[in-house]
Amino acid sequence: MEETGTARRWALSDFGQVRTLREPAVSPDGTRVAVVVDMFRDQEDDRVAALYVVPADGSSPPHRLTQGAEGVKSPHWSPDGRRLAFIAARAQVAGWPSPLADAGSDTLPAPGAVDAGPKPQVWVFDLVRGGEPEPLTSQPEGVEAFAWSPDGRFLAVAARCPSPNQSAYLASIRKPRHPGPWVITRPNSKRDGEGYLDDVPVHLFRIDLSSGAVRQLTDGAASEQDPRWSPDGAWVLFRSNRTGHSDLNHCVDLWMVAVEGGAARRVTAGDVSAASAAFSPDGRWVALISPLDPNTAYTPSHLMRVATADATPVANLAQLGVGFTATDGVVPPLVPGHDPVANGRVGPRAAGQTPRQVLTEGAPGPMRSEPHWVDNGHLLALMADHGPACLVRVDALAGGFQRVAPRDRVGSMEALDHCGGTTVVVLNRPDTAGELYRVDSDADGTLTPLTTFNREAFRDRAVPDHRWVQFTNPDHDQVDGVLVTPRGVTGALPLIVVPHGGPQAADAITFRFDHQYWTGLGYAILLVNYRGSVSYGADWQGVIRGDWGPREHADMMAAVDHLVAQGIADPERLFLTGFSYGGVMTNWAVGHTARFAAAASEHGMWDYTSMFGHGDTDLHWQDGWGVPWQNPEGYRRSSPLSAADGLATPLLITAGEQDWRCPVAQAEALYAAAIRRGVPAELVVYPGEHHAWQSRSSRARDRIRRITAWFQRFGGLADDAGSPPSSE
């Protein structure tokens, strides 16, 4: 590795050294923290997750509990703190001493089913006695989520529950040779990362941990997710879209089902899209995260409170569509002269209104975590605020919020948990990547590091300079951006502009391997929180609804002009690359300006008309533009395709063969247009890949290597350019 003094730049071979932390879970007494750590293995070329436990006082380093390549997620402590359960797809051992070993025929695979490997189940460590983890479930289709009962005697489990006909269908499509056809009857045919979809619902089950007895709590055609026990153990709270047409809307309500007796209650009235929820310690309240309008993605989510006493009894939980109007999502014929966008927005409307209190009124951005009750009157949550996500303390009675940490705009919080008086967060900083911290005081936000997983990766590393920049767009709005430059280097640098994805996203000062790698070569990196970005208020986020492209592009180019005028960016060496919606903005830019020497469009979109029905984002299109057969001009006007005649920038185009968010056909059509315009172009399709670029270390390295070589070909910097001057 090349060095300048003691400072080293990142090399492609270093990719995979940095670990990612997620899902921290504090023990009930607040003394220990479990956390999932994702890491790459170069030799196996895969990505694995391991479960660690660390003392909350930081007195000793983290202890690894799990080994192997199985995925690990959702760590949850038992109420007495003795056991730690998690979900993993591990092979069960014959004769394992578990109460579920003879749980009955309901846990056996369907007749004729093909063994496709172990399904994700709930496993548990006994941290007092030690030893290997034991299985607590054996659901035929695996477990999606679970929760301990307050007394630790039961689990509430969310698991797929196929009927006999559905089991036969699953067996047919899973045959290793000559599988049967996919048969689609639901409105959405596929989802990125999953492929073609089936109709199998997810239902809730209660598992007796002493006997292994399994009791089904819900049934019917709808699915139930994210079980949460009430503090008295009598009810299980869950999220569910029970409109009867869940693929055609975002109306996700909160419901409760009695653990004994089958009674059910409705907590919200159809006017929310609940992302997560939590009971208050006394059980009187439920805090939930939802936008004010469940039918659009262009409004920020808020933290709300509802009273459990206001929940209404439900006579038949399996009955769907109650409390809504026009739930079928059918788009009526367009009456001449009427607005095609309004005509296409046919999501259900609630007949009633939830008696809710919005606790984060006036918040600049969306909530980024599940809410956590500190006591009956206060909550902790993560909220995006002008770029980064921060920890906020919320008054659960009067409403209002106070920022706790971090106090500056360096870093962004990615996960949160609170229990037993202890609060922990995962904070991503450019000089450490993500690490686990204890929040020592809700008053001053002091952070104490509990892990140093990435210390060795950053040792003697030439971490680039990161700073916020502000500039004015053509409409006289002030826009935020992040500028990343080689440490201590001044003068006009070659610039890579990296528009973010989403569009409901925002950039902040965090660690990104590719950004630090490119600054190590001598590039400057520009990130712009253009209009449409979240965390700058509802108006900023919603202004691009149904009109993607022109505002974001104007903001991005205003940022470039600002850096050129400041002598920071070399106007002759401007480059552009973005992934997903960043790929969309790249495609838009190369049709509207010739200022970039070269561009790389990654997993983007080109023609919105052909996206409808082909990817997994139909509701997004319908919300913004209606349906394409009623609004063809609107779809075309917003598509980067509309400026195909302006293509002149050398273009590298990447796609995933199985990407159902931005399908490969979009990249192929863009490539065909570029070639026929006489533009230097190259199409790269990654076999088996979905909407991701870090699924494997070899995939990530290949992506960065190709973009770097493409830019070098058109006047950019080479990988062998050496380290830039460093002040370290």
Radius of gyration in angstroms for the set of CA atoms belonging to the chain, rounded to a whole number? 26
Could you give the CA distance from residue 134 to residue 369 in angstroms, rounded to a whole number? Answer: 30
Could you give the CA distance from residue 668 to residue 659 in angstroms, rounded to a whole number? Answer: 13
Q: 3-state class of 673 per DSSP?
A: helix
Nearest to 139 by CA among 183, 190, 202: 202
Higher pLDDT, 587 or 6: 587
The residue-averaged pLDDT of 531-548 equals 97
DSSP strand pairing (235-240 vs 253-258) = antiparallel
| Residue 119 clears pLDDT 90, i.e. is over it | yes
The residue-averaged pLDDT of 706-726 equals 79
What is the per-residue DSSP string for 651-670?
Answer: EEEEEETT-SSS-HHHHHHH
| Residue 370 clears pLDDT 90, i.e. is over it | yes
Half-sphere exposure of 424 (CA within 13 A, CB side): 31
The residue-averaged pLDDT of 447-475 equals 97
CATH architecture of 460-713: 3-Layer(aba) Sandwich (3.40)
C-alpha 530 chain-centroid distance? 20
Enter the tokens of residue 360.
Answer: 């984060």
For the beta carbon of residue 29, count every other beta carbon within 10 angstroms: 14
Residue type, position 394, single letter: V
pLDDT the model gives residue 68: 80
Higher pLDDT, 443 or 176: 176
Write out pLDDT tens, residues 569-598. 999 999 999 999 999 999 999 999 999 999
- Report the mean per-residue pLDDT for the chain: 93
The residue-averaged pLDDT of 75-86 equals 98
| Residue 215 clears pLDDT 90, i.e. is over it | yes
Helix (H) or strand (E) holding 591: helix 581-592
Write out pLDDT tens, residues 551-574. 999 999 999 999 999 999 999 999
Greatest alpha-carbon span in the chain = 74
Nearest to 383 by CA among 537, 487, 274: 537
Helix (H) or strand (E) holding 390: strand 389-395
Could you give the CA distance from residue 723 to residue 728 in angstroms, rounded to a whole number? Answer: 12
pTM of the model: 0.94
Q: What percent of the chain has pLDDT over 90?
A: 90
pLDDT the model gives residue 441: 75
> What are the sequence ranges of the domains in the chain?
460-713
DSSP 8-state class, residue 352: S
pLDDT the model gives residue 326: 86
Residue type, position 667, single letter: A
pLDDT the model gives residue 96: 54
The residue-averaged pLDDT of 372-399 equals 97
Could you give the CA distance from residue 389 to residue 613 in angstroms, rounded to a whole number? Answer: 33
User: Strands, E, within 222-377: which ranges?
Assistant: 225-229, 235-240, 253-258, 264-266, 276-279, 285-291, 301-307, 312-314, 324-325, 349-350, 356-358, 372-375
The residue-averaged pLDDT of 347-361 equals 95
Enter the tokens of residue 636.
Answer: 């075309």
pLDDT the model gives residue 101: 41
The residue-averaged pLDDT of 209-218 equals 96
- Assign 3-state DSSP to the chain and report helix, strand, coil percentages, each to 5: 20, 30, 50
